[in-house]
Amino acid sequence: MADYPVLEYDVLVVGAGGAGLRAAIEASSTGCKTAVITKSLLGKAHTVMAEGGMAAAMGNVDDRDNWRVHFADTMRGGQYLNNCRMAELHAKEAPARVKELEAWGAIFDRTPDGRILQRNFGGHRYPRLAHVGDRTGLEMIRTLQDHGIHQGIDVYAEHTILNLLMDGTRCVGGFAYDRERGRFKVFHAKAVVLATGGVGRAFQVTSNSWEYTADGQALAFKAGAALLDMEFVQFHPTGMVWPPSVKGILVTEGVRGEGGVLRNKDGKRFMFDDVPENYRSSTADNEEEGWRYTQGDKNSRRPPELLTRDHVARCINREVKAGRGSPHGGVFLDIAWIKEKIPDSVTHIKKKLPSMYHQFKQLADLDITKERMEVGPTTHYIMGGIQVDADTQMSTVAGLFAAGECAAGLHGANRLGGNSLSDLLVFGKRAGEYAAKYAKDHGAGKLTMSQVDEAAKAAVAPFDRGAAGENPFTIQHELQDFMQNLVGIVRIESEMQEALGKIAKLRERAARAGITGNREYNTGWHTALDLDNMLTISEMIALAGIERKESRGGHFRDDYPDKSADWAKYNLRVVQDGNGRPKVEHVTVVPLTDEMKQVIEENK
């Protein structure tokens, strides 16, 4: 075999967003020699984009809040396909994880009595999101980064994992290249944590950065792990729609939390027209009550704009399709109107939503304190991912753990806003803790260098084809285009079948991708290497989407528009068949304990 450097670690963490950094901090704090690999520079991972806040039932703003309400909200939002044990752990542990961030230097917005301020968000009964204006993700990643660098964690910035290395059925590391120099490295580890985020780059209109190419999900699948709930992709209701170059960039739900309202071209607040049965009792039936709720009136119910994301996205989609949309194919999101209610609304909006003000001013020449924004759905998040044990976060492959967006279970069929940042902290910590334990309980596994050689050979193949090969950017753009149109916000069997056919053809073309230049910071090469992961996961999304013949959460079928009681019993799991191809299975939803049933009942 070629002479690649072999780096020895107890725990290897892949990904340096919230989950990866939290896992690394935990693992290294137990004395494990820990490495973090990140595709970008440290502190740039997609967590930085999170805006609204992290959900934790601390009860600082409304003391009626507690873990039981948060648990019930999460399960209702996920349409009861969640792994209930994960939802329980999450609701119970999130407050401690948030307070810990403050002890590590995070500076949250404050309540009048000096505690961490919490804000309203869709699907959360009480103000629950600890936040810093609308840049909470930046605060979180910077806090973890600045804490982590003093812990002796080795950070490998701008490195990408090509494949996981296996000792039989156990994961023992990963084979990587550094993006800057293009050199290969072997990471030999006793335990591996995947924290690679989502899959948004497989879609055309997305809030996700280039990094979101489904790496962790695909690497785990190829290593033999099971994936769960892959049909559930979240389309965030409010992305920018204009100008074209920023289409998809996120507009935080916090705008609606602060009193922003959705209107169609006739000025109508269309969200009042369609409130789902299970949310009717907790939703305001008039505009005045909705406004009072956003201003902290405990006796008011939430405005329909703060219903769950899947529902709001579909309502927007419906308005646009019915010809009632805004000039650029979205609807209007209006926060400027609060000048009728608040004396110095301009200052108020800039203070509460500074980065939204900035974003629209700079990218769209629009002043949100005076004008309405135009927004529409954008691919934001995947609820599905690597199947993990609720307590330990270990996947179905020994020694391989997963946390954050690339793992599945907590969010079921639809994630509530704010539950992602808290997910990263709660399960990032658990993954780090149990990966460290696994590393201590097991010796180093055996490396098989033939696995490395095969991967290296495949990785450099695009250079042999050179300019005569397919342009990797073109392949990526085509995938994004048809995934958006055929496996997007509204799905139908024939279109998803069509997508499968196109994926198969693109896979053949991806195998012919060609690259010019050398291996040093060659973005075309990096894109060519990302294609396989994106195609692997796109296929699973379509396969699971075809299989689930109902509409639930993020999965909406035009040919099966209703929720089915029978389908409520199953999660869909994707595993390898005998030939390494994906196979979809039905697995029974994790049953609720009696106590959980009671908690859900008392919070109905």
Partner 1 sequence: MSDSVATEKALPSSAIFRIWRGGNGGGGFVDYNTPISSGMVVLDAVHGIQANDANDMAVRWNCKAGKCGSCSAEINGKPRLMCMTRLNTLDLTVPVTVEPMKTFPHVKDLVTDVSWNYAVKKKIQKFTPRKPDAADGTWRVQQADVDRPQEFRKCIECFLCQDVCHVLRDHNLHDEFIGPRFLIYTAQLEMNPIDAADRIPDLKDSCGIGYCNITKCCTKVCPEEIHITDNAIIPLKERVVDRYFDPIARLFGGGK
Q: Which residues are catalytic?
A: 236, 256
Which residue type, as a one-letter code, is found at position 23?
A
Which residue type, as a one-letter code, is found at position 596?
M
- Tell the smallest beta-carbon distance from residue 122 to partner 1 (Å): 21
Nearest to 178 by CA among 163, 160, 155: 160
Angle at 394 between CA 391 and CA 395, to 5 degrees: 130
CB 87 within 8 A of CB 78: yes
Strands 570-576 and 34-38: unpaired
**Among residues 384 and 472, whose Cβ is nearest to partner 1?**
472
Tokens of 330: 């979205």
Nearest to 241 by CA among 376, 137, 112: 376
Residues 6+ apart with CB under 8 A from 186: 4, 5, 6, 7, 165, 173, 175, 176, 447, 452
**Among residues 113 and 566, whose Cβ is nearest to partner 1?**
113
Nearest to 555 by CA among 388, 411, 423: 411
Q: Cα 257 vs. chain centroid, distance in angstroms? A: 20
Strand order in the sheet with 570-576: 385-386, 227-228, 570-576, 582-588
- Tell the smallest beta-carbon distance from residue 250 to partner 1 (Å): 8
- Tell the smallest beta-carbon distance from residue 551 to partner 1 (Å): 31
**Among residues 31 and 152, whose Cβ is nearest to partner 1?**
152
CB 554 within 8 A of CB 499: no
**Among residues 75 and 138, whose Cβ is nearest to partner 1?**
138
**Among residues 113 and 577, whose Cβ is nearest to partner 1?**
113
**Among residues 446 and 477, whose Cβ is nearest to partner 1?**
477
Tokens of 476: 């990526």
Residues 6+ apart with CB under 8 A from 232: 81, 382, 383, 384, 411, 412, 413, 414, 553, 554, 555
Three-state DSSP class for residue 340: helix
Strands 6-14 and 129-130: unpaired
Angle at 325 between CA 369 and CA 239, to 5 degrees: 55
**Among residues 101 and 574, whose Cβ is nearest to partner 1?**
101
**Among residues 101 and 406, whose Cβ is nearest to partner 1?**
101
Q: Running DSSP on this structure, what letter comes out for residue 415?
A: P
- Tell the smallest beta-carbon distance from residue 69 to partner 1 (Å): 19
**Among residues 62 and 517, whose Cβ is nearest to partner 1?**
517
Nearest to 273 by CA among 324, 208, 231: 324
Q: Phi, psi at residue 552, to the nearest 5°?
A: -160, 130
| SS (HEC) of 317-359 | HHHHHCCCCCCCCCEEEECHHHHHCCCCHHHHHHHHCHHHHHH
Which residue type, as a one-letter code, is found at position 5?
P
CA distances for 227 relative to 406, 455, 528, 553, angstroms: 10, 23, 24, 18
Q: Running DSSP on this structure, what letter comes out for residue 581?
A: -
**Among residues 482 and 560, whose Cβ is nearest to partner 1?**
482
Tokens of 15: 């990904």
Tokens of 486: 């055929």
| Distance, CA of 545 to CA of 212 (rounded, Å) | 20
Measured over the CA atoms of residue 542, residue 543, residue 546 and residue 548, the dihedral's sign is negative
- Tell the smallest beta-carbon distance from residue 515 to partner 1 (Å): 6
Nearest to 89 by CA among 75, 103, 99: 75
Nearest to 217 by CA among 532, 578, 474: 532
| Distance, CA of 195 to CA of 205 (rounded, Å) | 23
| Distance, CA of 499 to CA of 482 (rounded, Å) | 7
**Among residues 107 and 342, whose Cβ is nearest to partner 1?**
107
